[in-house]
Structure 1
């Protein structure tokens, strides 16, 4: 990132979701840029990995008015990264609080700061749901498929409307599937790739769009300061999508394992997942199979990511092949592969 569009040293920034995968990488970069970092973290959050950094911690809930008011006071930039991740039994209201209510509180509080410069809101490409005619772009219709995506879409739509009415400077980033060393998001798939037989539901050609966490956080930082990013939404991902089978093949090749894909029809697994979810809900237990996990193999996620490059000059530094290999080697180093 050039000095022309860079968070200035001494800038007062607030980050939510700082203890998460993306948030922790973003925090480290902000500290290295000599920003004055404030972070909101629940009392139950483990901040030990970030204790060595000069961070002002505000302990509390991101949807609590007093916590937010305290954290936002005097800041110039807000990076709203916090998210409620999908968990069995998590009430719908929890997603709404973390995604929608927190966005409202943060944005309204930002208006009270005379020196405020930019609200960077991290959404998700999931607001577009399944892409019938890939690739989708920023103007494609919203079609969220679950409560996580629905509340992310609600928060984003609210922010667009609120910012326009109140002249709040803001940018929305919709990341593709975030991955890289430090996260386990793709660990199950990587494990499948190195098994004697790699079981893939469907034909393996389902499109899957990735973004490496290092590239994503660079994009977030650029969007915070670039004048042409104000009021815009950007899909952030690799230049093009890959395939599920393609990911598995790179993993196997990286670890010098034979790659033997076996394709199974997905429909029976959808029926099984639906029955398992219904039964597990009645029994109040964690399902061993979800419909969304089956959908991972069958629903295309492919996006046109040109806008963020053409409008504000963002460039990806890590190719899918390099990032997948890097992540596979990290998993192996941890003893997980």
Structure 2
């Protein structure tokens, strides 16, 4: 196991995954250093660690101080899908930013580096489930640059410049996730509909399981230059997802199904109209693709080599997410006649 006295650096610490990883390591008594991009992000992390640094993947000169004295780096920071981000920025952060972070870690003598990639490097899975050797087929600039960043990291690991591994999380969710809130709200309000038949395969991973996987990957010092898919216990159809969420919310399961081709055409037209004005389109092609792409993975390599095991099934994870949304007021209380499944 790496030196327990020196801190472990978590980049992207202000984000959903980074913050959960900080909470997990903190609860385990492991010293952590949080790296954020903007000074105003530091205050919110003070309860988790007093060791917070401001550094920028696009400014390599800021990164050595962040990595100095660290036992390992968890590299979570990335730019996700945003309408107002240029392709150049995606590449600068998701690809070249990985190189800059690795170079800083090597210069400071950090012994191990765990890089967060994404299942999106594989995109649609034609023959499910996919394992780590499934071909890369990224479908948008985010996935393209994440694949580039993963290749950079793997080249460093294979060359022996630093020990490390890559994690490819499946579809991340969990308590406090703002991105899946829309899905839960639409089902709660009986406004959710399918594009297509709802038969596309989905594979979620609870952010708490992902945090454990990161720790396992850091501790596996005899393993280097490997990639691991990290997902939940099983993949299932989108319709099965919606049915379970609806049952736990105490509302009827969604029934409305719209045809794919017209919705994809509408999404494309919406993007074209909104882009010149810098407006966030209400409908994206990638949102339509959510309903038709298969995301189904074989996680046995992580189970076999890292000892990774998801802690709950999908129903238990959904129960925790709904409870958290209700606690924060993001979802209404359960109906008076609702009975837990």
The aligned counterpart of 1:263 is 257
User: Shift of residue 197 of structure 1?
Assistant: 5.5
Deviates further, 195-204 or 282-291: 195-204
Between the aligned partners of 2:104 and 2:41, the Cα distance in structure 1 is 26
Q: 2:35 aligns with which of 19, 35, 40?
A: 40
Between the aligned partners of 2:169 and 2:50, the Cα distance in structure 1 is 25
User: Shift of residue 226 of structure 1?
Assistant: 1.2
1:111-146 CA distances to partner (integer Å, 9 max, x unpaired)?
2234x3310000000001111111111001110001
Q: Is 2:73 aligned against 1:73? A: no
1:177-225 CA distances to partner (integer Å, 9 max, x unpaired)?
1111111121121122223454111111111110001100000000001
Deviates further, 37-46 or 179-188: 37-46
Q: Is 2:172 aligned against 1:175? A: no
Q: Is 2:8 aligned against 1:13? A: yes
The aligned counterpart of 1:95 is 90
User: So what's the TM-score if we normalise by structure 2?
Assistant: 0.92
Aligned residues: 331
User: So what's the TM-score if we normalise by structure 1?
Assistant: 0.93
1:147-296 mapped onto 2 (5 Å cutoff): 147-196=141-190, 198-296=192-290
User: Shift of residue 44 of structure 1?
Assistant: 5.2
Between the aligned partners of 1:280 and 1:260, the Cα distance in structure 2 is 29
Structure 2: gaps spanning 5 or more residues? 332-341
Between the aligned partners of 1:190 and 1:121, the Cα distance in structure 2 is 30
1:62-107 CA distances to partner (integer Å, 9 max, x unpaired)?
2311210111122120000011021112111211122112211111
Between the aligned partners of 2:281 and 2:206, the Cα distance in structure 1 is 29
Maintained 8 Å contact 2:121/2:146: yes
Between the aligned partners of 2:177 and 2:8, the Cα distance in structure 1 is 24
The aligned counterpart of 1:141 is 135
Structure 1: gaps spanning 5 or more residues? none
Deviates further, 15-24 or 260-269: 260-269
Q: 2:54 aligns with which of 39, 59, 66?
A: 59
1:243-277 CA distances to partner (integer Å, 9 max, x unpaired)?
21111111111122222421111111000001111
Between the aligned partners of 1:305 and 1:93, the Cα distance in structure 2 is 33
The aligned counterpart of 1:121 is 115
Change (3 A) 1:296 1:78: same
Between the aligned partners of 2:34 and 2:321, the Cα distance in structure 1 is 27
User: Shift of residue 309 of structure 1?
Assistant: 0.2
Between the aligned partners of 1:144 and 1:198, the Cα distance in structure 2 is 27
